[in-house]
Amino acid sequence: MKIQNIPFTTTDWTTIVPTEHPGETGKAFWRTLQFGDIRIRMVEYTPGYKADHWCTKGHIILVLAGELITRVQNGSEVVLTSGMSYQVQDEGEAHRSETITGAKLFIVD
């Protein structure tokens, strides 16, 4: 990733209006900034959220609060708690996220 054409700025994430994205169960609320090809998001999953698709997009995901379960299409899974992250490349392992308790994430993709 080459980061360019982004001036030094600060972001008050509470001022960005969230968009609602329903999952197979539960909901995700995204607060999104877009800088060219780089998308930066603060995402909150409601308790019981389960993604409705397998994703092959590359991400850097940091769990800020709660617990995130990410299943990889090969059958493995990881459980991340506050302060943990995962990284995956574009067109890498297909993955699908869910949470029992809810989670708050910071995502760059």
- Rounded to whole angstroms, the Cα distance separating 33 from 40 reads 5
User: 48: domain range?
Assistant: 19-108
Domain annotation covers residue 6: no
Tell me the average pLDDT of the chain.
95
Domain annotation covers residue 101: yes
Domain harbouring 89, CATH code: 2.60.120.10
Domain annotation covers residue 37: yes
Domain annotation covers residue 70: yes
User: Using one digit for the tens of pLDDT, what is the confidence trace for 54-97?
Assistant: 999 999 999 999 999 999 999 999 999 999 999 998 898 999 99
Domain annotation covers residue 31: yes
The structural domain count of the chain equals 1
Please, are residues 1 and 71 in contact by the beta-carbon 8 Å criterion? Answer: no
Q: What is the pLDDT of residue 107?
A: 97
1 has pLDDT over 80: no
Domain annotation covers residue 1: no
